[in-house]
């Protein structure tokens, strides 16, 4: 038996679906998840903290980078953003599409490893960096996010502060010349930086 990460392109684990209800920012969502994606049985604490506290400006272009089954992107779509959801995991993309449809929302779904298949710019990018993939990968995603933001665009990430989050926050400060802690709960923090050209 081989171990699979949630950022595996084509998960080979037996496909088993899970359905549950989630309440985020006062909105009620019906979500379907499965084996082979991150946090298959519930909205994990980090994702919920990001979704509950992220800054969303009406009608802005929004990228849920590494969307998984789509909890963050679906919340942004419900709040009025024009959403693109991307992931490398084909199972996650199938679930994100299903969850968008089941919650009567709209978003574009893109199969992309990082920004490989994303050529447009955004007003807002949210990311739960894959710390298990290593600091180099996480910093690369942050750097590429900066390159894909419009002027005054926001990058918002969630991470464990003492398990890589502090280093990512410092990297955001170095890259954007600004960073703030938007929210914290338990071991997790949400960091935000604004691109100013």
Q: Once rounded to an integer, what is the mean pLDDT over residues 72-80?
A: 98
In 25-143, DSSP assigns E strands to 27-34, 61-65, 82-87, 108-111, 122-127
Please tell me the predicted confidence (pLDDT) of residue 41: 80
Per the rule left: phi > 0, alpha: psi between -120 and 50, beta: everything else, 140 is alpha
Please tell me the predicted confidence (pLDDT) of residue 2: 39
Report the share of the chain in percent with pLDDT over 70.
Answer: 94
Model pLDDT for residues 10-27, shown as the tens digit of each residue: 766 789 999 999 999 999
Of 82, 75, 170, nearest in space to 124 by CA: 82
Q: Once rounded to an integer, what is the mean pLDDT over residues 23-43?
A: 91
Dihedral in degrees, nearest 10, Cα atoms 175, 85, 190, 186:
-140
Is residue 55 scored above 90 in pLDDT? yes
Is residue 126 scored above 70 in pLDDT? yes
Q: Which helix (H) or strand (E) holds 176?
A: helix 166-176
Please tell me the predicted confidence (pLDDT) of residue 87: 96
Token pair, residue 190, equals 């949400």
Backbone angles phi, psi at 133, to 5 degrees: -80, -10
What single string gives the DSSP state of each residue in 149-161? EEEEEEEEEEEEI
Question: CA angle, 135 as apex, 194 and 190 as ends, to 5°?
Answer: 40
Please tell me the predicted confidence (pLDDT) of residue 3: 36
Is residue 104 scored above 70 in pLDDT? yes
Please tell me the predicted confidence (pLDDT) of residue 9: 66
Domains assigned to the chain: 43-194 (3.40.50.150)
Q: How many Cβ atoms from other residues are within 10 Å of residue 137's Cβ?
A: 15
């Amino acid at each position: 038996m081989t171990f699979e990460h949630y950022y595996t392109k084509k998960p080979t684990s037996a496909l088993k679906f899970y359905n549950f209800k989630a309440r985020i920012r006062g909105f009620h969502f019906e979500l379907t998840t499965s084996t082979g994606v991150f946090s298959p049985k519930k909205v994990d604490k980090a994702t919920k903290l990001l979704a509950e506290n992220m800054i969303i400006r009406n009608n802005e272009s929004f990228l849920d980078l590494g969307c998984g089954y789509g909890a963050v992107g679906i919340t942004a779509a419900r709040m009025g953003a024009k959403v693109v959801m991307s992931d490398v995991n084909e199972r996650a993309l199938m679930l994100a599409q299903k969850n968008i449809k089941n919650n009567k929302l709209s978003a574009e779904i893109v199969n992309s490893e990082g920004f490989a298949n994303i050529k447009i710019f955004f007003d807002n990018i949210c990311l739960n960096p894959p710390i298990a993939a290593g600091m180099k990968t996480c910093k690369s995603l942050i750097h590429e996010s900066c390159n894909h933001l419009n002027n005054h665009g926001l990058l918002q990430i969630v991470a464990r502060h003492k398990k890589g989050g502090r280093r990512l926050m410092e990297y955001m400060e170095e890259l954007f010349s600004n960073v703030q802690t938007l929210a914290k709960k338990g071991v997790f923090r949400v960091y935000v930086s604004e691109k100013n050209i």
